Structure 1
Amino acid sequence: MPQNKIVTVEVQMLIRQPVSIVFHAFTDPETTINFWFTKSSGQLEAGKTVTWEWKMYGATTNVLVKDIIQNKKISTAWGDPATSVDYEFDAVTEDTTYVVIKNYGFKETGDRLIEVIKDSTGGFTTVLDGLKAYLEHNINLNLIGDKYPKEVSKHGQ
């Protein structure tokens, strides 16, 4: 099945921290665990594959780091089937960073593609919301863990 190259999920958020701090939050798992996954096999480095874990869901994924441009961009591939995810960082001022996450390369079509787009949009928006709370207010909102609590079945399934 050919890749659907015209569909790109894009989410964004202004973070009131310097670009070096925001960029570091995505490359250093000791920071990332405060707003996204629960465990990582290592820091993000170009050419390296790391494993991310979400303990509360019993889920893991391998993430291939395709490229890193310091304080500008992280390009990865992950998921099953794998898609590309780019994290772009724009220093708006010395103390603010605009983060854009782009997810593309979907192989699904029709209704399944719509579901994948909804999940990706919601998931990455939640990541940016958690990042903002953590970096601006030092609060771990536990957004990822509370997105689909085991006590509540996922809507529509």
Structure 2
Amino acid sequence: METKKLPTVECQMMIRKPVAEVFEAFIDPTITTRFWFTKSSGKLEEGKAIKWQWEMYNVSSDVFVKEIIPDKKISIEWDDPATTVDFEFTALTGNTTYVIIKNYGFLQAGDDLIQAIKDNTGGFTTVLDGLKAWLEFGIELNLVRDKFPQTKQK
């Protein structure tokens, strides 16, 4: 009997920083706001519900933190319809970390599913690119802010 593989977005990047520093960049919104969302209602903590905002687009997302394994994994549920996002961290050396972001649990079908996969693949790739620039070089590239310049921004 063949098992059906569920659609999963997967993006990855090596970051030239220790795993604890890369992990903390996703936990602590004072860091995350340098490369992803613009505002957060708090730090990620297991079992906690928070809100992330992208003020320039007047968009927000409710996030529920399902699991945190320090320096290894963060699992959240977000968006509408809700999907699961796993952030996985692997120390390659003392100063390099491999980050994999997996997004799954899509309820859409057909063209709507294809669009959701495209949007999330592009979005999480942009997040990892911004993370790399910020942590490795201290450069805030404004990638998320500039992704949709035709959208009315604040």
Normalising by the smaller structure, the TM-score range is: over 0.9
Residues 109-130 of structure 1 deviation map (CA, whole Å, 9 limit, x = unaligned): 0011000000000000000000
Identity %: 62
Q: Which amino acid aligns with 2:37?
A: F
- 1:97 alignment partner AA: T
Offset, 1:150: 3.5
Paired residues for 1:4-153 under 5 Å: 6-150=6-150
Distance 1:40 1:5 in 2: 33
Structure 1: 5+ residue runs without aligned partners? 153-157
What whole-Å deviation, never above 9, does each CA across 1:27-63 have from its counterpart, x for those lacking one? 0000000000000000000000110000000001110
Normalising to structure 2: TM-score of the pair? 0.94
Q: What CA distance in whole angstroms lies between the structure 2 residues aligned with 1:5 and 1:28?
A: 33
How many residue pairs get aligned? The number is 149
Moved over 6 A (4+): none
Counterpart AA for 1:38: T
Q: Structure 1 CA distance, aligned partners of 2:63 and 2:75?
A: 10
- Scaled by the length of structure 1, what TM-score is found? 0.93
| Contact 2:13/2:100 (<8 A) preserved | yes
Q: What is the rounded CA distance, in whole Å, between the counterparts of 1:111 and 1:35 in structure 2?
A: 30
Which sections of structure 2, spanning at least 5 residues, go unmatched?
A: none
